[in-house]
């Protein structure tokens, strides 16, 4: 049987020597092809005496298996080498810049982001978002809110007027339309069109005839209104404390409610939050100093009556705050005017990723 | 409103420190604006005695002084002309801070002479502009004592903000009353005894108001005081006025200013010798003039309340006195006025003539209606005390307006509205301390506001008074929770769409801008905004004088601004209002965006190109898709407003009438007028015009049926007239697909458009790929071929196209 051992040895040598798949195939044919060396030996089995045939057959089969295995192994090795060579040839400089289109260049403006945050927090307390027109009638912007005609806020230095006159409900003379000076007219529109209980927040554009470092002629406010039969000042405090602590993400943020005066609320309050101004840097938190953030109060009985509701039955609170101011405080934006300059450098720096959608479940803005 | 701590203490008995008082003021609604403790700033300065002042040996303008500071004698070089031996001045030692110069004083040698400190001028002390010489202190000033004390500057100045409803706190006494009510001390009793008149005034006073305007001045009290000696007022009075920023003038004027701030009672003093005849209170005659005490002349319109004599207008009632009858140092007979003026008319007069005065400020907010005579008596006593003289009887004209009224405060309301737990007795005590007359009536109080609280108009005001004085910190916070039941979303479907638009556009690589709702009318006109109804009557500037008819001009100008800063490739959007009319329905919400310059930076893997109409179309369609609209039914037609390039723009329509968007490159002529570089690709999506999102009902989607059969793709290249729209070819392919029974046209894409070599002039080659979805079985080659023929036939029939060979 030494002929078989030699044959295996020579096959192994040939297989190992095959440098590529074609050479290996030649080897396979040399041994296992129709006229291959092993095939020829197989053909010779018939001539062997039956008592020896079985043993010889088993040996040949073993040899065939061995050679086949060797061929498969070599094929794998050769394939792997070819793939390695291809991969090496395909190598690129991965430090080159990525394809431009795949980079998220878009941003959400801080005003939109802040509105989304505020809506999310109040939404959790059962508030719905209400809206109203930017160009308002005198009645909704002033008279119904208990702001009499002689009030300083009505003077042209504060209010933008249009050259269009309207006669508001209950008014004897027409008055010019105004750009709303606050989001409060939506309180009136809502109370006149919707039966209590009411819980609304009103983010929107507002306008005042003022343009300097701390005033913009067009800015944003968010108004809140709760009207039912039992909401009192304790709820007002609770609601705004919960809001401010969530918004600024400072669980122990102190809030101070100070008596103040607005024509449309009674009692009225201004609200300060805790802060520090040490070293000229403003920090929000329990640091002993105070910073005014919003005005609020219990809706004035006259305002409720002006909307056709009975002030002996219905009561509630209202509050209003500047959205830019909240954004400036939370995100450390120093200058109000920059919100409207559409400077790409500013927008990319202070803007937010589109996927950064605030929610109280997933968290407010990153 | 400013006052000093010492001044406050003339009305309030208290041991509270200034910091405690400041905190309490804020807590009761008299918000602290600041405390200026001048003594603290000046604490290092002492009274110095100039033992000797010699000429500096090497400098003509300097003197070498030996100053005794109470502890030691020091050599000081001084440049002041009034430095002399034997005087007393304000001495600052080396190392102290000089507020007027914002420097730290250093020991120095001046022209060879050692100088160990400084004798200060008023300016150097930070007390004004006076730098003519060093401060000359009285001879009896104790050497070494704190200079601030000697100069009457050791009284901290408190500044508070008074809300418009609290006219009663525009006097120190009102502030003291509020503080006393809050428990920070006791209000000192004050009783002004009337002064008996010695004679009848020769100046009479009468009212002459047209019917219906009598409330312009309902009540006037006058008094003539003869034989006064006017001159500088005493130091304590000058110090008070100086501390709150008023300039002492003369005793008579200083007394009126003092009482204005002390008891909130504005007064006026006429020089009786210059009053011609009686005084008449009336409305001004149009064109009448008055030379006011501020030195300016005002021409009156007719609505002002004036006090006139035979010579003309002598004062604008409640606002300012006139120069001709004003008091001077030479005045010997003075006619004192205390009156009530209508708040509205006073405010209107002040506004009309841009005249701000302490009197106007008080009258327009409403004063204590019952304290007019008391104010006159207080003024009389001060004048007699400081200037001497003999008083007449009071000249009283008119009638005091009725001011007494009462309101019920139910105990339940204190918690029910104010959220405050407080007994009815404690509430009553608070109101009494504030001056209310209070009577208990079962579970309620009947409260009569005092004459100085015109702002109290109902029960809610009483709740506020009690809560304010008790302190808002005593109101227990109660969290507001959602009502039980199924939560409704905070946003309506339309509001949600606005929010999603912003997120979607930002995801497309556009940066959100927020711009003003108004712009220049010329720019508005370029974008269809020509109606005069949307012009502002009082714009802040000419370039912000009209409501915007479109967001695009603002975005174009923003892109231009960025280009000017060196960033020419701006991709910006804004979702906000635009205005077509002043009524609510004239306000639409629009998602607008632009891509200016190149679509991206220069890049190794992609050629840089300018933004074009197809970027805008892509943005618009991507947004519509993101909002959940099927763009299947959206048709792009070449119709767009005049601010778009007529050949590179279009409208997106749903059906023949509903335009939901415009897109395209902006018109080069419009860009030129905006001084902006083109091309700029822009889109406007009219969010209000989109079909309303499904608000209610089943959210289930149609059953999805997935075919097990492989789709087949076939390419066709057509040769057709260059002017024929590709949409026609696609529509023809889709139409042909509908007539095929065994397969559906699942998709058609355009993969090549070519004009040029190999294509005849006026023609174009349009290559499309059609994806066929077999319906019941795999198609044979012959069947596919037959469908291809049908498609070619249909396209050819619809467009005249032929298959390109």
pLDDT tens track for B274-293 = 999 999 999 999 999 999 99
Mean pLDDT of B412-435: 97
Instruction: Evaluate if residue B695 carries a pLDDT over 70.
Output: no
Q: What is the pLDDT of residues A117-152, one digit of tens each?
A: 999 999 999 999 999 999 999 999 999 999 987 776
pLDDT value at position A54? 85
Q: First-to-last CA distance in chain A? A: 80
Task: Give the model's pLDDT for residue B42.
Answer: 84
pLDDT the model gives residue B778: 92
- The pLDDT, as a whole number, for residue B616 is 97
Q: How far is B359 from chain A (nearest CA, A)?
A: 17
Q: Which residue has the tokens 């203490």?
A: B9
Structure tokens at B764: 């174009």
What percent of chain A shows pLDDT beyond 70? 98
Q: What is the pLDDT of residue A157?
A: 66
Q: What would the pLDDT profile of A224-240 be if each residue is shown by its tens digit? A: 999 999 999 999 999 99
- Whether residue B467 and residue A267 make contact (CB cut-off 8 A), yes or no, is yes
Q: Is the dihedral of CA B352, B358, B362, B367 positive or negative?
A: negative
Q: What is the largest distance, in Å, between two alpha-carbon atoms of chain B?
A: 131
In tens, the pLDDT along B83-105 reads 888 999 999 988 888 888 888 88
Q: What is the pLDDT of residue B557?
A: 97
Average pLDDT over residues B515-527: 96
pLDDT over 90 at B255, yes or no: yes
Kindly state the tokens that stand for B192: 């002004």
- The answer for A 39-98 residues in CB contact with B (under 8 A) is 96-97
Asked if B305 and B346 count as a contact pair (C-beta separation under 8 A), the reply is: yes
Closest among A296, A138, A140, A304 to A221, alpha carbons compared? A296
Which residues 6+ apart lie within 8 Å of B44 measured at CB? Answer: B92, B93, B96, B97
> What integer pLDDT is reported at residue A156 of this predicted model?
62
B671 near B556, Cβ under 8 Å?
yes
Angle at B438 between CA B434 and CA B444, to 5 degrees: 120
| Residue to test with chain A: of B419, B421, B481, B608, most A Cβ within 10 A | B419
CB contacts < 8 A (A, B): 263
pLDDT 10s digits, B281-335: 999 999 999 999 999 999 999 999 999 999 999 999 999 999 999 999 999 999 9
Residue B702, pLDDT > 80, answer yes
Question: Cα separation of B607 and B601, whole Å?
Answer: 9
Between CA A43 and CA A139 the distance in angstroms is: 112
Nearest Cβ partner of A109 from B488, B499, B514?
A: B514
- Positive/negative CA dihedral, A59, A62, A66, A71: positive
Instruction: Determine, for residues A226 and B480 on separate chains, whether the beta-carbon distance falls below 8 Å.
Output: yes
Three-state DSSP class for B141?
Answer: coil
Bigger pLDDT: A150 vs B431: B431
pLDDT above 70 for A244: yes
CA distances from A226 to A114, A229, A315, B756 (A): 21, 10, 8, 69
Inter-residue contact B406 to B448 (CB < 8 Å): yes
pTM: 0.87
pLDDT of residue A297: 98
Residue A356, SS3? coil
Report pLDDT for A102: 64
pLDDT digits (tens, 9 = 90+) for B749-777: 999 999 999 899 999 999 999 999 999 99
Helix (H) / strand (E) element for B290: namely: strand B289-291
- Cβ contacts (< 8 Å) between B516 and chain A: which residues? 217-218, 340
The yes-or-no verdict on residue A1 having pLDDT over 70 is no
Distance between start and end Cα atoms, chain B: 93
* Dist. CA B319–CA B216, nearest whole Å: 13
- Residues A363 and A3: their CA atoms lie apart, in Å, by 80
C-alpha–C-alpha distance, residues B5 and B308, integer Å? 40
Phi, psi of B497 (to 5 degrees): -65, -40
- Model confidence over A266-278: pLDDT tens digits? 999 999 999 999 9
Cα separation, B676 vs B553, in Å, equals 10
What pLDDT is attached to residue A153? Answer: 65
Q: Hey, is the C-beta of A251 within 8 angstroms of any chain B C-beta?
A: no
Residue from A205, A232, A296, A341 to probe the interface with B (highest B Cβ count within 10 Å): A232
Min Cα separation B521/chain A (Å): 14
Are the beta carbons of B463 and A267 separated by less than 8 Å?
yes
Only one residue has tokens 């002039």, namely: B761
| Mean per-residue pLDDT of chain A | 91
Phi, psi dihedrals of residue B339, rounded to the nearest 5°: -145, 175
At B472, the pLDDT band (50, 70, 90 cuts) reads very high
Listed range (B177-191, B471-485, B493-507) with the worst mean pLDDT:
B471-485
A232: contact with B, CB 8 A cutoff: yes
Residue A2 has pLDDT above 70, yes or no: no
Predicted pLDDT at B99: 84
Q: State CA B392 to chain mean position distance.
A: 49
Predicted local confidence at residue A37, as pLDDT: 86
- Beta strands B571-579 and B511-512: pairing type? parallel
* Gap between the Cα atoms of B284 and B357, Å rounded: 19
Question: Cα separation of B680 and B616, whole Å?
Answer: 9
Whether A254 and chain B come into contact, CB under 8 Å, resolves to: no
Q: In terms of C-beta density within 10 A (0-12 exposed, 13-18 middle, 19 or more buried), how is residue B86 classed?
A: exposed
pLDDT reported for residue A361: 84
Q: Are A127 and B547 in contact (CB under 8 A)?
A: no
B29-48 average pLDDT score:
88
Measuring CA to CA, how many Å separate B714 from each of B542, B717, B773, B784? 61, 10, 11, 9
**Selection from A156, A260, A172 nearest residue B160 by Cα:** A260
Which helix (H) or strand (E) segment holds residue B163: the answer is: none
**pLDDT score at B522:** 95
Q: Which residues of A touch B521 (CB under 8 A)?
A: none
Asked if the Cβ–Cβ distance from A127 to B490 is below 8 Å, we say: yes
């Amino acid at each position: 049987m030494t002929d078989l051992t030699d044959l295996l040895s020579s096959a192994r040598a040939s297989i190992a020597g095959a440098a590529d798949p074609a050479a290996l195939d030649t080897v396979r044919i040399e041994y296992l092809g129709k006229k291959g060396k092993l095939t020829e030996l197989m053909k010779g089995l018939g001539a062997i005496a039956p008592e020896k045939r079985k043993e010889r057959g088993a040996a040949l089969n073993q040899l065939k298996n061995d050679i086949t295995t060797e061929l498969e192994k070599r094929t794998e090795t050769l394939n792997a080498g070819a793939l390695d060579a291809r991969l090496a040839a395909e190598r690129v400089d991965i430090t080159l810049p990525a394809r431009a289109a795949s980079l998220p260049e878009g941003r959400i403006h801080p005003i939109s982001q802040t509105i989304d945050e505020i809506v999310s927090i109040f939404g959790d307390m059962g508030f719905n978002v209400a809206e109203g027109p930017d160009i308002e009638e005198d009645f909704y912007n002033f008279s119904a809110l208990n702001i009499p005609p002689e009030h300083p806020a009505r003077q042209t230095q504060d209010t933008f007027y249009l050259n269009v006159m309207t006669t508001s409900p209950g008014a004897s003379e027409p008055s010019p339309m105004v750009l709303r000076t606050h989001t409060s007219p939506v309180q009136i529109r809502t109370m006149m069109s919707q039966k209590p209980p009411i819980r609304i927040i009103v983010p929107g554009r507002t306008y005042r005839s003022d343009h300097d470092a701390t005033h913009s002629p067009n800015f944003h406010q968010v108004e809140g209104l709760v009207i039912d039969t039992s909401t009192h000042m304790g709820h007002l405090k609770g609601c705004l404390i919960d809001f401010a602590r969530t918004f600024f993400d400072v669980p122990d943020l102190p809030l101070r409610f100070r008596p103040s005066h607005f024509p449309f609320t009674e009692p009225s309050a201004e609200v300060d939050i805790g802060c520090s101004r040490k070293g000229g840097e403003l920090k929000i938190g329990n640091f002993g100093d105070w910073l005014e953030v919003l005005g609020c109060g219990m809706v004035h009985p006259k305002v409720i009556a002006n909307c056709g509701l009975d002030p002996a039955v219905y009561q509630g609170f209202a509050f209003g705050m500047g959205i830019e101011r909240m954004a400036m405080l939370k995100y450390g934006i120093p200058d109000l005017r920059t919100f409207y300059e559409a400077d790409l450098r500013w927008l990319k720096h202070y803007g937010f990723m589109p996927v950064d959608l605030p929610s109280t479940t997933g968290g407010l803005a990153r | 409103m400013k006052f000093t701590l010492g001044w406050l203490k003339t009305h309030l008995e208290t041991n509270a420190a200034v910091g405690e008082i400041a905190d309490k003021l804020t807590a009761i609604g008299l918000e602290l604006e600041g405390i200026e403790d001048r003594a603290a700033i000046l604490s290092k300065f002492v009274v110095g005695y100039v033992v000797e002042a010699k000429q500096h040996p090497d400098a003509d303008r300097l003197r070498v002084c030996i100053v005794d500071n109470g502890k030691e004698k020091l050599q000081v070089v001084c440049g002041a002309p009034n430095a002399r031996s034997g005087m007393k001045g304000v001495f600052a030692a080396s190392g102290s801070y000089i507020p007027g110069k914002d420097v730290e004083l250093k020991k120095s040698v001046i022209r060879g002479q050692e100088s160990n400190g400084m004798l200060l001028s008023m300016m150097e002390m930070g007390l004004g502009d006076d730098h003519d010489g060093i401060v000359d202190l009285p001879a009896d000033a104790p050497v070494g004592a704190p200079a601030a004390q000697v100069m009457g500057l050791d009284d901290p100045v408190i500044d508070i903000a008074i809300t418009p409803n609290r006219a009663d706190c525009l006097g120190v006494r009102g502030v003291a009353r509020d503080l006393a009510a809050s428990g920070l001390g006791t209000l000192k009793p004050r009783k002004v005894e009337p002064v008996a008149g010695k004679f009848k005034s020769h100046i009479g006073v009468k009212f002459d108001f047209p019917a219906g305007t009598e409330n312009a001045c309902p009540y006037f009290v006058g008094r003539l005081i003869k034989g006064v000696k006017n001159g500088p007022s005493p130091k304590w009075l000058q110090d008070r006025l100086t501390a709150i920023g008023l300039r002492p003038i003369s005793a008579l004027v200083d007394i009126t200013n003092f009482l204005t701030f002390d008891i909130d009672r504005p007064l006026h003093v006429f020089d009786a010798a210059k009053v011609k005849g009686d005084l008449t209170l009336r409305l001004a005659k149009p064109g009448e003039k008055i030379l006011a005490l501020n030195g300016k002349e005002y021409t009156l319109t007719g609505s002002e309340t004036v006090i006139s004599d035979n010579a003309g207008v002598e004062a604008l009632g409640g606002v300012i006195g006139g120069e001709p009858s004003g008091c001077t140092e030479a005045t010997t007979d003075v006619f004192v006025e205390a009156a009530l003026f209508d708040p509205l008319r006073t405010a209107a007069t002040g506004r009309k003539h841009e005249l701000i005065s302490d009197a106007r400020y008080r009258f327009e907010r409403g004063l204590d209606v019952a304290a007019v005579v008391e104010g006159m008596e207080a003024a009389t006593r001060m004048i007699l005390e400081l200037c001497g003289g003999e008083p007449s009887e009071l000249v009283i004209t008119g009638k005091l307006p009725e001011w007494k009224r009462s309101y019920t405060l139910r105990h339940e309301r204190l918690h029910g509205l104010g959220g405050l737990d407080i007994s009815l007795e404690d509430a009553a005590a608070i109101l009494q301390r504030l001056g209310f007359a209070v009577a208990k009536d079962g579970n309620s109080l009947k409260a009569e506001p005092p004459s100085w609280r015109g702002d109290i108009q109902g029960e809610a005001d009483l709740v506020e008074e009690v809560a304010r004085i008790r302190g808002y910190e005593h109101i227990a916070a109660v969290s507001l929770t959602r009502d039980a039941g199924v939560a409704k979303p905070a946003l309506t479907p339309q509001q949600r769409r606005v929010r999603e638009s912003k997120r979607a556009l930002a995801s497309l690589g556009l940066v959100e801008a927020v711009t003003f709702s108004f712009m220049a009318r010329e720019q508005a006109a370029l974008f269809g905004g020509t109606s005069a109804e949307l012009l502002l009557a009082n714009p802040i500037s000419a370039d912000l004088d009209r409501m915007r008819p479109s967001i695009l001009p603002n975005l174009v100008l923003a892109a231009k601004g960025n280009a000017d800063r060196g960033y020419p490739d701006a991709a910006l959007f804004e979702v906000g209002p635009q205005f077509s009319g002043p009524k609510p329905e004239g306000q639409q919400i629009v998602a607008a965006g632009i891509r200016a310059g190149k679509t991206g930076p220069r890049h190794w893997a992609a050629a840089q190109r300018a933004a074009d109409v197809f970027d805008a179309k892509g943005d618009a369609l991507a947004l519509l898709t993101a909002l959940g609209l099927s763009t299947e039914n959206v048709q792009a037609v070449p119709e767009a407003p005049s601010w778009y390039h007529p050949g590179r723009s279009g409208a997106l329509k749903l059906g023949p009438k509903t335009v939901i968007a415009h897109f395209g490159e902006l018109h080069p002529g419009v860009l030129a007028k905006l001084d902006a570089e083109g091309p700029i690709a822009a889109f406007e999506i009219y969010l209000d015009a989109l079909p309303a999102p499904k608000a209610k009902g089943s959210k289930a989607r149609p059953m999805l049926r997935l075919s097990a059969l492989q789709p087949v793709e076939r390419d066709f290249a057509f040769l057709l007239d260059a002017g024929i729209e590709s949409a026609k070819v696609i529509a023809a392919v889709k139409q042909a697909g509908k007539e095929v029974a065994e397969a559906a046209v699942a998709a058609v894409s355009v993969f090549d458009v070519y004009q040029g070599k190999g294509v005849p002039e006026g023609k174009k080659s349009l290559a499309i790929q059609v994806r066929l979805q077999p319906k019941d079985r795999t198609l044979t080659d012959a069947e596919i071929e037959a469908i291809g023929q049908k498609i070619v036939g249909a396209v050819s029939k619809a467009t005249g196209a032929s298959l390109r060979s």
